[in-house]
Amino acid sequence: MSAVSFQSVSKVYASSKSSVRALDQVSFTIEEGEFFGLLGPNGAGKTSLISILAGLSRASSGRISVLGHDVVDDYVQARRSLGIVPQELVFDPFFNVRETLRIQSGYFGIQNNDDWIDELLSSLGLSDKASANMRQLSGGMKRRVLVAQALVHKPPVIVLDEPTAGVDVELRQTLWQFVARLNREGHTVLLTTHYLEEAEALCQRIAMLKEGRVVALAPTSELLSTAAPSVLRFKLDAELPAELAQRARITGRIVQLPAQDAADIERCLGVLRQAGLHAQDVEIRKADLEDVFLSLMATKSPPQSLGGASMSARADKSAAETAP
């Protein structure tokens, strides 16, 4: 049995004047115990998909199940199996941190849960804030409480919707250490994030959405293998020659160029020399998930031509072979 199954999920937001297709026949499964990444640019459909999974929205068509429980027909068991950390900072201003977690426990019929609440407070660096009113907390501390609320009933499936957006490095490190521990203990984790280095470090498999469609689905290592072997990175105080600009990623003064081999690197540097340009802080690094992501999002080809279909088939076959 898969932890989460998305089967041909579509979502159309319609009004009297127009309609927007946020999701278009999205299908993939997440296996039990997997750390899975769901990536895509703003507006790709990630939050719409999670909202349907959480029961906050209804799919226009298709089906989603959590540990075999349909999120519509068997919503009680499906929601008991989920712990969701939303993007928005939503909190009740009338209670302190411990009271908030006790009330959340009560929603799931759990009594005498203080031992687990204490462990959550300690693991998320909230022990000294247990008696603080939610209104008194900083944004980062409120984010930690949201994580604790999602975990207070020990859900087998944890959904993290951009949990580290706008928070400090300390929280990111604390959160990932704790979530990685839960994953090792058997919890399934679904993560959406714009910090692609987090996804690369944590996720075993990744699905990428673009305009509501799955354009890639594969193990992280397989996705990385689709990128150029190396990236030439340097700083430049002038406009890049057109010959290189068409395939470069430029951020301010920093230029990054995919390179297939040493000869390709030399050709790029030769173009700069011929143009009378001086590259500073030149270095060669391995391609990362951000390179793969930007390449997939930049192409205008239909998803099937991007390797998404073949990647999906290989990844699902691999997951089926390794599933418990």
Q: How much is the mean pLDDT over the chain?
A: 87
Per-residue confidence (pLDDT) for residue 46, from 0 to 100: 93
What's the CATH architecture for 2-220+292-322? 3-Layer(aba) Sandwich (3.40)
Predicted pLDDT at 300: 60
The number of beta carbons lying within 10 Å of the beta carbon of residue 126 is 22
> Considering the chain, what percentage of its residues have pLDDT values greater than 90?
59
pLDDT band at 214 (very low <50, low <70, confident <90, very high): very high
Supply the pLDDT for residue 14: 84
pLDDT at 74 over 90: yes
Question: How many CA within 13 A on the CB side of residue 259?
Answer: 20
Report the distance separating Cα 225 and Cα 228, nearest Å: 8
pTM score over 0.75? yes
At residue 162 the predicted structure's pLDDT band, cuts being 50, 70 and 90, is confident
Please report which confidence band the pLDDT of residue 77 belongs to, taking 50, 70 and 90 as the band edges. very high
Q: Is the dihedral of CA 95, 53, 51, 196 positive or negative?
A: positive
Average pLDDT over residues 82-104: 88
Residue 307 above 60 pLDDT?
no
Rounded to the nearest 5°, which phi and psi values hold at 287? -65, 145
The strand pair at 157-161 and 205-210 is best described as unpaired
Q: What is the pLDDT of residue 304?
A: 36
Burial class (CB in 10 A: 0-12, 13-18, 19+), 218: buried
DSSP string, 311-322: HHHHHHHHHHHH
Lowest-confidence region among 56-60, 163-167, 176-180, 253-257: 163-167
With a cut of 70, say whether residue 94 has pLDDT above it: yes
Domain ranges of the chain: 2-220+292-322, 228-287
In the structure, what pLDDT confidence band is assigned to residue 317 with cuts at 50, 70 and 90? very low
Dmax over Cα atoms in the chain, in whole Å? 74
Q: Which of 232-236, 274-278, 299-303 comes out lowest in average pLDDT?
A: 299-303
Between CA 293 and CA 198 the distance in angstroms is 13
User: Which 8-state DSSP code applies to residue 94?
Assistant: T
SS3 62: strand
Q: Is the pLDDT of residue 115 over 70?
A: yes
**Of 230 and 82, the one with more pLDDT:** 82
Q: In what order do the strands lie in the sheet with 280-286?
A: 249-251, 254-259, 230-235, 280-286
